[in-house]
Amino acid sequence: MRIEMAGEAQRPDRVSEDFAVATPEALVLLDGSSSPAAMESGCEHGTAWYVRRLGGHLLARLVDRPDRTMAQCLSDAIAETASLHGARCDLAHPNTPAAMVVAVRRRGAALQHLVLGDSLLVLDRFGSIAVIGDNQPFPAGELLRREVHATTPGSPERTTLHMRYALAVRAARNTEHGPWIAAALPKAAEHAETGSVPLSELRAIALLSDGASRYVERFDLGGWPEAMKLLDERGPAELLRRVREVEATDVACARWPRGKARDDATVLYARL
């Protein structure tokens, strides 16, 4: 397996809330759920701290516990990370640190996979592309998000609507009324999309945070076949460079409406 990765923070002066790690046996990518600066989280550690601990625990589980399913490994990792918070962190707070998760593991002659949230796993089955993830629709949140995108970036109106959107999503997530995400509840892992594909049917795979999947999903710089070809021939860093290049031409988010002009962006690519 040939593995390449690239990651870039939203801005040079801040720490990325994405996290990626890989071994020949398993690949893990986490995309931390960012919050408006004015929103309390109930946690003294923060999202960057959380994704690094959760990602490390998940990788260890995936490679050390082949007897556990991938969902069970994620559940264990969430519980282990929650135990590190300490008494001063309120894990029941709706804005406690959380993350999207994409992971794969080699098991015998198959590649197992797990996706929770809106980050993506792309499977290249010798030219037939399958995209897994972002499969938890939340219509009320999507409506609010469109209202945010329709306002002027940096305006008081956008700030107000963005806070309303963030509060609505956090009130609904990890309940039976909204999307599931890795936070402090191990049961969230039960809602991940999981599966297995014979290694003989796979040419390559890619794990992308939503800041990187903008290449296809937001900016339409090419379809997934073109994106996978670019990753294979030029590598993840080139895909991120092209995303940043487009973002720089639309700082006001006018041509491509989005919540942030730039976002943390990470790609893990493996040629099997």
Mean pLDDT of the chain: 94
What was the pLDDT predicted at 203?
98
In whole angstroms, how large is the CA radius of gyration of the chain? 18
Average pLDDT over residues 58-76: 98
> For residue 176, what pLDDT band results from cuts at 50, 70 and 90?
confident
Residue 238 is encoded by which pair of tokens?
């080139």
Report the Cα 95 to chain-centroid distance in Å: 17
Exposure string over 240-260, b if 16+ CB within 10 A, otherwise e: bebbeebbeeeeebeeeebbe
Average pLDDT over residues 38-43: 82
What was the pLDDT predicted at 6?
98
What was the pLDDT predicted at 138?
82
pLDDT tens-digit map of 187-220: 999 999 999 999 999 999 999 999 999 999 999 9
In terms of C-beta density within 10 A (0-12 exposed, 13-18 middle, 19 or more buried), how is residue 38 classed?
exposed
> For residue 86, what pLDDT band results from cuts at 50, 70 and 90?
confident
What was the pLDDT predicted at 88?
86
Residue 238, CB-side half-sphere exposure with 13 Å CA sphere: 13
pLDDT higher than threshold 90 for residue 87? no
pLDDT higher than threshold 80 for residue 36? no
Are 74 and 181 in contact by the 8 Å Cβ rule? The answer is no
What was the pLDDT predicted at 29?
98
> For residue 152, what pLDDT band results from cuts at 50, 70 and 90?
confident
What was the pLDDT predicted at 39?
81
pLDDT higher than threshold 80 for residue 69? yes
DSSP calls for 60-91: HHHHH-TTS-HHHHHHHHHHHHHTTS-TTS-T
CA 30/CA 27 separation, integer angstroms: 10
What was the pLDDT predicted at 143?
86
Average pLDDT over residues 25-46: 88
**Sole residue written with tokens 């894990």:** 91
Lowest mean pLDDT: which of 26-35, 92-101, 113-122, 130-139?
130-139
Average pLDDT over residues 30-50: 87
As a residue count, the chain comes to 272
pLDDT higher than threshold 80 for residue 37? no
pLDDT higher than threshold 80 for residue 158? yes
pLDDT tens-digit map of 228-267: 999 999 999 999 999 999 999 999 888 998 888 999 999 9
pLDDT higher than threshold 80 for residue 223? yes
